[in-house]
Amino acid sequence: MEWFGLVALCLVFCYSSYPGKVKRLEAAVKRLEKKQKGENYMSKLISELVSKDCKIKSDDALQLVGNTELNCFVLDADDEWIKVRFVDRKKNQIIKLLRIENISEVEIIDEQGSL
């Protein structure tokens, strides 16, 4: 009976570091998937849109403004997220974070209209 307790204790020590290893492996796989999908390239392009008015096409916009197209001003962007400011259906000014992977199309808008 003592051996069973000793074996169980050894197994707990051996497998206790696996959650941290699994998280690191998941992060590495996610980075590799992004590279394959080209999301890093899209992130670089979107980071160039900071301080510009844009029309973003995304399924997330449907919940926000009732349309898949969101007219917004890009405040900031990084590898996974874009921070935008827009006016909702009730004419409130909203600042929202959107995932870049959910964006399907971006159009830059200048003062005279679209480019």
Tokens (6 digits) for 11:
């197994």
Pairwise pLDDT comparison (7 vs 11), residue with the higher score:
7
Residues 47 and 15 in one domain: no
Query: Could you say which DSSP state residue 44 is in?
Result: H
- Whether 103 and 54 share a structural domain: yes
For residue 100, the enclosing domain spans 41-114
Number of domains in the chain: 2
> Does this model's pTM top 0.75?
no
- Give yes or no: residues 46 and 33 share one domain: no
The CATH number assigned to the domain holding 93 equals: 2.30.30.100
Same domain, 74 and 103: yes
Q: Which of 96, 42, 37 is nearest to 71 (CA)?
A: 96
- What does the pLDDT look like over 24-73, one tens digit per residue? 888 888 777 766 665 566 777 888 889 999 998 887 777 777 777 889 99
Q: What is the pLDDT of residue 114?
A: 45
